[in-house]
């Protein structure tokens, strides 16, 4: 036997199938959409209100860039809120549709007249009529529909589409932020490794120079100057380590994992910033229909067009149909049974005159539609120009990155050479200091060029709506 909840669920499904059939007949739902599809969507929306299950996160995560992006999409709470917003739009649409579907209400009322008798004078004679206590069961079925209600349901479809586009925008933005944080961490780590190797060399020179001072073969000023270089490199290394921790914390926020979670990045920075990836992105053709901002404005233009229909249907009639069944039980003798058990009502309301208010409303919506079309056309032209600019930014950023990568390799070789020459006494302390400063400057410029390249790549991916 079915449980009470199963019976209620079965009844709800039956009523929903009947309602869907009615909406198909009036054209609010496409015929290709089955009742089971609507039921499944409805259950999906209702499931969103039952709370979410707690997802356990491992203490150790080994993530490539694609795995990190996928993990963020599945785990990030802000993105889940955007997904729930889509489900909320489905629920709002169903409320709009259900307002035009049949509704049934039932009730029971009890009246006690406290022994009152009604007196009537007929043909000179007084007649007393007892007023017995009355209990009445009442069932009312009603349905009402007008053109504005139908257009309103269609507008809800547009609202759902716009929510979905907004969800795509949030997901694309999240993927881009994850990529930026991921590459930033790798870039800072690579610079930290270079600084560590430079520190080992300069500390060896500092010990050697101090030993020479102790035997009287060098001046203390030279040893002090090299010690300043050591401390400067240590400060730079500490700053880089703090920046790495900060970037890792930002990545954990995007992944929505606890702060104590250990994350290992498995991708290599040279692989992520490979020439093949950049050239592939630069070679992609731009289709304005794929741009999320353009698609959103398209939906906004369609919404403005539907608003004209909404305003026009203010001239349309409103038709309502109601059926009422009443069963009265009299507790006592007497009384006048004047309430009919069955009542059918049909109402048609037609607006006639509003002093031009409705006409002005239609004109207003037409003007808004023309403005929306102009904005859409203007955006199409602007996006073409923006695409060329983003391609230029990426191409320029990649060339700069290549040059700075070569510069840091040259600066590293110069510093190593200056260190060896100073070790054997063939270069001055000034040459060593200049080589050290040039290396630190080249490292800073290299990191900035790397981040500029990543940002340019992310911006073009978002523009092209690449996943």
Together in a domain, 284 and 409: yes
pLDDT digit string, tens, across residues 200-230? 877 887 887 788 778 776 678 878 878 887 8
Contact 226, 429 (CB under 8 A): yes
Is residue 32 assigned to a domain? yes
Say how many domains are in the chain.
2
6-15, 247-256, 327-336, range with the lowest pLDDT = 6-15
Q: Residue 390's domain spans which residues?
A: 64-103+146-318+356-464
Contact 89, 160 (CB under 8 A): yes
Q: Bigger pLDDT: 197 or 312?
A: 312
Is residue 131 assigned to a domain? no
Is residue 113 assigned to a domain? no
Mean pLDDT of the 6-30 span: 46
pTM of the model: 0.72
Together in a domain, 314 and 185: yes
Tell me the pLDDT of the chain averaged across its residues: 81
Please, is 175 exposed, middle or buried when counting C-beta atoms within 10 Å of its C-beta (0-12, 13-18, 19+)? Answer: buried
Check whether 399 has a pLDDT greater than 80: yes
Check whether 334 has a pLDDT greater than 70: no
- Taking residue 409's Cβ as centre, other Cβ atoms within 10 Å add up to 13
Check whether 398 has a pLDDT greater than 50: yes
Segment 326-330 long-range contacts (CB within 8 Å, at least 24 positions apart): 326/136, 326/137, 326/138, 327/136, 327/137, 327/138, 328/134, 328/135, 328/136, 328/137, 329/134, 329/135, 329/136, 329/137, 330/132, 330/133, 330/134
**Listed residue (159, 182, 38, 138) closest to 93, CA to CA:** 159
Together in a domain, 27 and 166: no
Is residue 409 assigned to a domain? yes
Beta strands 60-63 and 262-265, pairing class = parallel
Is residue 112 assigned to a domain? no
CATH number of the domain that residue 299 is part of: 1.20.1600.10
Together in a domain, 252 and 173: yes
Mean pLDDT of the 249-257 span: 92
Is residue 449 assigned to a domain? yes
pLDDT band at 333 (very low <50, low <70, confident <90, very high): low
Distance CA 113, CA 277 (A): 87
Together in a domain, 177 and 309: yes
pLDDT digit string, tens, across residues 22-42? 444 444 444 344 434 443 344
Together in a domain, 294 and 374: yes
Distance CA 322, CA 414 (A): 92
pLDDT band at 129 (very low <50, low <70, confident <90, very high): confident
pLDDT band at 113 (very low <50, low <70, confident <90, very high): confident
Together in a domain, 381 and 457: yes
Together in a domain, 19 and 77: no
| C-alpha distances out from residue 114 to 126, 137, 363, Å | 21, 21, 61
* Res 160: pLDDT: 92
pLDDT band at 367 (very low <50, low <70, confident <90, very high): very high
Together in a domain, 393 and 441: yes
pLDDT band at 335 (very low <50, low <70, confident <90, very high): low
**Listed residue (11, 12, 29) closest to 21, CA to CA:** 29
Together in a domain, 80 and 153: yes
Check whether 117 has a pLDDT greater than 80: no
179-193, 247-261, 334-348, 354-368, range with the lowest pLDDT = 334-348
Together in a domain, 74 and 42: no
Together in a domain, 40 and 70: no
């Amino acid at each position: 036997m079915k449980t009470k909840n199963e019976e209620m669920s079965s009844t709800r499904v039956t009523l929903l199938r009947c309602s869907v059939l009615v909406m198909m007949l009036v054209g609010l739902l496409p015929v290709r959409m089955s009742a089971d599809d609507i039921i499944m969507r409805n259950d999906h929306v209702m499931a969103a209100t039952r709370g979410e299950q707690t997802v356990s996160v491992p203490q150790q995560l080994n993530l490539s860039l694609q795995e990190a992006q996928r993990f963020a999409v599945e785990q990030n709470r802000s993105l889940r809120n955007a997904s729930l917003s889509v489900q909320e739009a489905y629920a709002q649409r169903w409320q709009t549709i259900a307002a035009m579907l049949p509704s049934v209400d039932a009730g029971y009322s009890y009246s006690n007249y406290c022994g009152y008798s009604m007196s009537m004078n007929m043909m000179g004679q007084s007649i007393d009529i007892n007023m017995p206590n009355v209990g009445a069961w009442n069932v009312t079925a009603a349905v009402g529909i007008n053109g504005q209600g139908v257009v309103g349901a269609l507008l809800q479809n547009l609202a759902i589409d716009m929510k979905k586009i907004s969800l795509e925008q949030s997901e694309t933005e999240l993927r881009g932020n994850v990529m930026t944080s991921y590459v930033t961490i790798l870039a800072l780590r690579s610079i930290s490794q270079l600084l560590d190797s430079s520190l080992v060399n300069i500390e060896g020179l500092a010990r050697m120079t101090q030993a020479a001072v102790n035997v009287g073969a060098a001046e203390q000023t030279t040893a002090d100057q090299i010690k300043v270089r050591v401390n400067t490199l240590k400060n730079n290394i500490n700053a880089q380590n703090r920046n790495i921790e900060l970037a890792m914390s930002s990545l954990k926020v995007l992944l929505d994992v606890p702060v104590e979670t250990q994350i290992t990045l498995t991708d290599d920075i040279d692989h992520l910033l490979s020439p093949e990836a950049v050239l592939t992105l630069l070679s992609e053709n731009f289709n304005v229909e794929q741009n999320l901002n353009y698609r959103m404005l398209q939906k906004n233009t369609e919404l403005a067009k539907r608003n004209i229909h909404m305003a026009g249907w203010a001239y349309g009639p409103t038709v309502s149909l109601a059926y009422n069944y009443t069963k009265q039980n009299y507790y006592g003798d007497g009384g006048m049974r004047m309430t009919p058990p069955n009542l059918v009502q049909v109402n048609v309301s037609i607006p006639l005159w509003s002093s031009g208010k409705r006409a002005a409303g239609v004109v207003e919506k037409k003007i808004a539609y023309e403005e929306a079309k102009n904005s859409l056309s203007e955006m199409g032209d602007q996006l073409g120009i923006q695409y060329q600019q983003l391609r230029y930014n990426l191409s320029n950023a990649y060339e700069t990155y290549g040059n700075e990568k070569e510069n840091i390799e040259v600066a590293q070789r110069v510093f190593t050479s200056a260190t060896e020459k100073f070790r054997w006494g063939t270069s001055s302390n000034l040459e060593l200091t200049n080589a050290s400063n040039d290396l630190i400057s080249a490292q800073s410029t290299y990191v900035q060029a790397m981040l500029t390249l990543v940002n340019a790549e992310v911006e073009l991916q978002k523009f092209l709506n690449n996943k």
